[in-house]
Structure 1
């Protein structure tokens, strides 16, 4: 049985209320919501930060609506793990930037329209292992 944190927790509720009241709430997605799919990468910095994809639902329930995906853990489960995580973000129609199936996708600005503004997000990371650099597929 899995234990899921709840935004209804009385100690966390005031924090989640502040986040939910914001037009935009950004978070750096420091885990890969890949349901632990993919192949653990040889070079990962010593850890593999995968997570159940429902973590995205919890973050949305907490009020987050814009996600940076390019972190030093983006490729902890290799390309297939990253692509699965991107599928999870896309299926939920979440605004995210920083990783993609192509170099052009990874470089794209993602836009979030709120009642008061249109926000753009560009995200990048500088700590990838050398085999992980963004590049065009050949």
Structure 2
């Protein structure tokens, strides 16, 4: 199997095409990884978090200094990692987040909370401002002559 580094344009394309991944957070002692839909506008990754009053996710969001998003596909096989600060989207910038999410997020088909009435859930937009982006595209190694 081969693994080739992706260019910035390929990384941007993969983030726009994928629309969902695993967001990894930490409180300094424990890690918390959660599947999340996201939107990407070429500059920032946007999330719309839905949570209840005692949300583990929001605890970790508030204590994480550097978040990591891993997005991947199997066909074609590729993975992208984005690392950076995670912060609330300012009210004035919510339309930017909404457009990015509407353009390319993969909306989940599962219930977010089995124990919480939907009326008790709150929504908040967050953005991950990338400090680092990396990507790998995977392929089949060519046959070795004479092997």
For this structure pair, what is the TM-score category when the shorter chain's length is used for normalisation?
Answer: 0.3 to 0.5
What TM-score, normalized by structure 1, do the two folds share?
Answer: 0.34
More strand by share: 2
More helix by share: 1
